[in-house]
Structure 1
Amino acid sequence: MTPTAAGTAVRHALGEAHGAVPVPVTVFDDGSPAVANLDPGLLDALRRAATDAAADGVEFVVNGGWRSPEYQEQLLRRAISKYGSEKEAARWVATPDTSAHVSGDAVDIGPPAARAWLSEHGAGYGLCQIYRNEPWHYELRPEAVESGCPPMYADPSQDPRMRRGSPR
């Protein structure tokens, strides 16, 4: 909240500098903080996968990537408002201190063709869907290259990493 000249508070939406992606960008867009601030290993795996997918006629776009803690908090507050409780919101949006987006360890990929391609080929790059209810959310699991992706959680509320104070 920012005070105005009249002393009242006005809510401001946090923008691209905080990781918002108002228009999807490619995984090669280093000008977007949502992409540029991703973990280097995740970004490398994404770019290798996107290059190979392009050979199959599939383009990856980033709908969400790295986020500032402030932006993650804004998304969480919106989710609580939308779903009516913190418990329901937790099925879709993590807290700033538990979010893999805030640490740069998660990316939301689109369109559906890209998600389908990753579902089939992602493990070969260490890219795994983590939550059954979020087919767009991918994280790097290097061990998946050899052993496949781990079982998915039903939703983020089932992920032990989402408990406050849990190490990422």
Structure 2
Amino acid sequence: MSRVERGRGAGRAMWGGGRRRVAVGVSAAGALALAAACAGGPPAGESVLRTLAATVSVSPSGDAGGAGEDGRIPDGVTLSPLDDRAAAVRNLDPALLAALREAAGAAKAQGIEMSVTSGWRGTGYQQRLLDRAVVTYGSLEQARRFVNTPEKSAHVSGKAVDVGPTSADYWLIQHGAAYGLCQVYGNEIWHFELRTTPGGTCPAMLPDAAG
């Protein structure tokens, strides 16, 4: 499900050697973003998860480029589908990851760079995202349109991946079925799961994560 306008810019992240410590707590930018969202109404579209993720504390130890062992991908960090150093990538379901990498290779051959903007998420991180969404939207029912419970989230099971940038999303919407990858939710063009056999037909989309 969701990852909020996360790392949708062009360009690749340059990874430093070794692991590094990531600050725990709410960033100033994240706090301002959440305050602005609450003041002006709930954020719309992909900015939802970006706003929520910016306010959620990070696990003290990080992996590639500061990405957390809980699956969190910090704002500004871009992950390649090939980057096994990141928990968000390496903990994806093997079949999903293989399909994603095959699709990313085909997209690259056509000039489209594909990145993982959110992948596997730990249970605790998913719950914190949901808790923030409830605060932002005022109810669990509304929050679940964008962030599912840990028990129901395909991100927690490793069976969902959010892809960026937008050009890659549209490429996957058009070509993803050839690899078994399908857009699942009508309100999330970036969220893909294995929902068909390679070359098959994707099932009808759900309106949102709440079903």
- State whether TM-score is above 0.5: yes
Identify the residue that residue 184 of structure 2 maps to in structure 1.
130
Identify the residue that residue 34 of structure 1 maps to in structure 2.
88
Identify the residue that residue 17 of structure 2 maps to in structure 1.
none
| Residues 86-144 of structure 1: per-residue CA shift (max 9 Å, x gap) | 0100100000111000000000000000001001100000000000001110001243x
For the pair 1:100 / 2:144, whether they are aligned, the reply is no
| Partners of 1:54 and 1:48 in 2: CA distance | 10
For the pair 1:149 / 2:149, whether they are aligned, the reply is no
**Is contact 2:120–2:158 with CA below 8 Å preserved after alignment?**
yes
| Partners of 2:182 and 2:113 in 1: CA distance | 18
Identify the residue that residue 71 of structure 2 maps to in structure 1.
19
Computed over aligned residues only, the root mean square deviation of the Cα atoms, in angstroms, reads 1.4
Identify the residue that residue 165 of structure 1 maps to in structure 2.
none
Note the residue ranges of structure 2 that are not aligned, 5 or more in a row.
1-24, 27-55, 60-67
Identify the residue that residue 162 of structure 1 maps to in structure 2.
none
C-alpha deviation, 1:156, in angstroms:
1.0
**1:39-50 equivalent positions in 2, closer than 5 A:** 39-50=93-104
- Report the 3-state secondary structure (helix = DSSP H, G, I; strand = E; otherwise coil) of the residue aligned with 2:69: helix
**What is the aligned-residue identity percentage?**
50
**Is contact 2:196–2:203 with CA below 8 Å preserved after alignment?**
no
For the pair 1:86 / 2:140, whether they are aligned, the reply is yes
- Opposite residue 20 of structure 1, the aligned amino acid is R
For the pair 1:74 / 2:112, whether they are aligned, the reply is no
**Is contact 2:184–2:193 with CA below 8 Å preserved after alignment?**
yes
Identify the residue that residue 112 of structure 2 maps to in structure 1.
58
Identify the residue that residue 7 of structure 1 maps to in structure 2.
none
Match of 1:116 among 163, 170, 176: 170
| Partners of 1:123 and 1:146 in 2: CA distance | 6
Instruction: Figure out how many residues of one structure are paired with residues of the other and give that number.
Output: 148
Note the residue ranges of structure 1 that are not aligned, 5 or more in a row.
1-9, 159-168
| Partners of 2:155 and 2:200 in 1: CA distance | 24
| Partners of 1:84 and 1:93 in 2: CA distance | 13
C-alpha deviation, 1:83, in angstroms:
0.9
- Opposite residue 80 of structure 1, the aligned amino acid is V
